[in-house]
């Protein structure tokens, strides 16, 4: 029996119209949608973004929702990823195509990559469909260019001493999930003597999107800060 | 008379199915498509990506193709951008919506930003529709994660000494338009003692897409090199 194909789909930052045509075609075609969730009680955000597409489907499909809790314990996490990969490969083995949906893009800070590496080792056919990243979504909402000409752009997922070290070498910094560390971030950025523009976006492209100058101080999970250092030329 | 809206549209890396639904809706709706070209004799790549959508349109539309030559002279460039902004604002003034189409995303190394800043100063209504960037498109094609966990990702548009300086502070480097400087790049990357994976993608997501290990040595314009340094942990 021909085995199924494993497809990673980036569903973009939140607005359903920011899905690509390629993503929509795949979502209408696959047998199984895999939508990881961080808590049993919490619906998957990625799933809610594609819900309208699934509701309009004529053909039947199945949803699996493996649990990927937000924990630090590497061994425990491996167990969750292994378990998800097993559930997916069971479907692939009986010839079903499985789409793993992920917020933003599958190759940028996505748990997709951990499951993908396991599935890929098992020699299934695979496909990755890129999605709009949160940071280009944020820049579009805030109407600011992220990078121009020779500017170096740096994407940082964590506020720590490595950010402090790289700061002087880049021009635009996108700092993700900033709200929990906004004071440390503000201190670090303000230490840099260059002129700067700081813009934060919360819940990019969603109905409750907020854009403001300066740093985020709201504990919402999906917030991103863009820092643009101005050229001295 | 109500003035028109100026819309920046990212058309993605090349494959027409990588356009978003939002981009397609806008392309079906606007009165004027602005597709910059680098030479009078050379058709616009962004325009060729959306040609099928335009061919299927029921309503009439107009195409303007301002010239943005690939020159270094800043003053001459300013003239071209000013001229493009004037042509666009003439259309906006008579109530026509204008969509400026751009390869990849409008906020990432796009000439869109120079025209946008001019149009924005004139107080027209504006909208930016993000697009799939070339680097997420490349990572999807190459089936490699760009960044995971706490990894810092750096996007570099030019191979020069600034790349050498930032190198030790990042984990993943995306170096754009590499083919003309691939020897210098290889030298710089190989000097770094960390284990590394190097993948280059030419003409990402297009029919003649090529993916290979190592550095690009073909003079094609649209090539991108991804360097992933491996964690020593």
Q: Tell me whether residues B17 and A15 touch, CB distance under 8 A.
A: no
* Mean pLDDT for the stretch of residues A98-120: 96
* Closest residue in chain B to residue A136, using alpha carbons only: B130
B42 CA to chain A: closest CA distance, Å? 22
Distance from CA of A62 to the nearest CA of B (A): 24
DSSP output for A103-130: SB-TTBS-THHHHHHHHHHTT-EEEEE-
Report residue B103 CA to chain centroid gap: 4
Residue with tokens 């195509």: A97
| Partner-chain contact B17 A22, CB within 8 Å | yes
Pick from B117, B136, B174, B205 the residue to mutate for testing the A interface (most A CBs within 10 Å): B136
What pLDDT does B221 receive?
62
pLDDT, one tens digit per residue, over A164-184 is: 999 999 999 999 987 778 889
Residue A19 CA: distances (Å) to CA of A52, A57, A101, A209, B211: 12, 16, 11, 18, 25
pLDDT at A220 over 70: no
Task: Show Cβ contacts of residue A144 under 8 Å, excluding neighbours closer than 6 positions.
Answer: A197, A199, A226, A228, B107
Neighboring chain A residues of B108 at a CB cutoff of 8 Å: 136, 139, 145-147, 153
> What mean pLDDT is predicted for residues A208-229?
86
Tell me what pLDDT residue B153 has. Answer: 98
pLDDT at residue A229, as a whole number: 97
Q: Is B147 within 8 Å of A155 when comparing Cβ atoms?
A: yes
Q: Tens of pLDDT along A60-102?
A: 999 999 999 988 898 999 999 999 999 999 999 999 999 999 9
Residue A56 CA from chain centroid, whole number = 25
Give the count of Cβ contacts less than 8 A between chain A and B. 175
In order along its 233 residues, chain B shows pLDDT tens digits of: 899 999 999 999 999 999 999 999 999 999 999 999 988 888 899 999 999 999 999 999 999 999 999 888 989 999 999 999 999 999 999 999 999 999 999 999 999 999 999 999 999 999 999 999 999 999 999 999 999 999 999 999 999 999 999 999 999 999 998 777 888 999 999 999 999 999 999 998 888 999 999 998 777 667 899 999 986 64
Q: Do B20 and A20 touch (CB under 8 A)?
A: yes
Look at residue A70 in the predicted model and tell me its pLDDT: 85
Among A195, A45, A190, residue whose Cα is nearest residue A110: A45
Q: Is the pLDDT of residue A233 over 60?
A: no
Q: Do A169 and B149 touch (CB under 8 A)?
A: no
- B213 burial via Cβ count (<10 Å: 0-12, 13-18, 19+): exposed
User: For residue A139, is pLDDT > 80?
Assistant: yes
The model carries a pTM of 0.96
pLDDT at A232 over 70: no
- Kindly identify which residue of chain A lies nearest to residue B120, measuring between CA atoms: A143
């Amino acid at each position: 029996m021909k085995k199924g194909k494993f497809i990673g789909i980036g569903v973009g930052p939140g607005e359903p119209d920011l899905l690509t045509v390629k993503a929509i075609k795949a979502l209408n075609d696959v047998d199984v949608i895999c939508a990881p969730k961080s808590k049993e009680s919490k619906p998957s955000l990625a799933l809610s973004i594609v819900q309208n597409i699934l509701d309009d489907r004529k053909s039947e499909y199945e949803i699996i929702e493996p649990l990927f809790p937000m924990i630090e314990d590497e061994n425990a996490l491996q167990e969750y990823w292994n378990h998800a990969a097993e559930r997916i490969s069971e479907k692939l083995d009986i010839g079903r195509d499985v789409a793993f949906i992920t917020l933003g893009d599958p190759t940028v800070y996505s748990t997709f990559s951990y499951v993908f590496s396991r599935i890929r080792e098992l020699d299934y056919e695979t496909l990755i469909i890129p999605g709009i990243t949160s940071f280009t979504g944020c820049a579009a909402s805030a109407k600011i260019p992220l990078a121009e000409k020779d500017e170096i752009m740096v994407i940082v997922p964590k506020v720590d001493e490595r950010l402090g070290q790289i700061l002087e070498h880049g021009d635009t910094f996108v700092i993700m999930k900033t709200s929990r560390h906004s004071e440390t971030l503000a201190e670090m950025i303000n230490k840099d003597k260059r002129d700067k523009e700081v813009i934060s976006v919360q819940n990019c492209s969603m109905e409750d999107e907020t854009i403001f100058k300066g740093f985020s101080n709201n504990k919402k999970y999906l917030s991103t800060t863009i820092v643009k250092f101005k050229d001295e030329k």
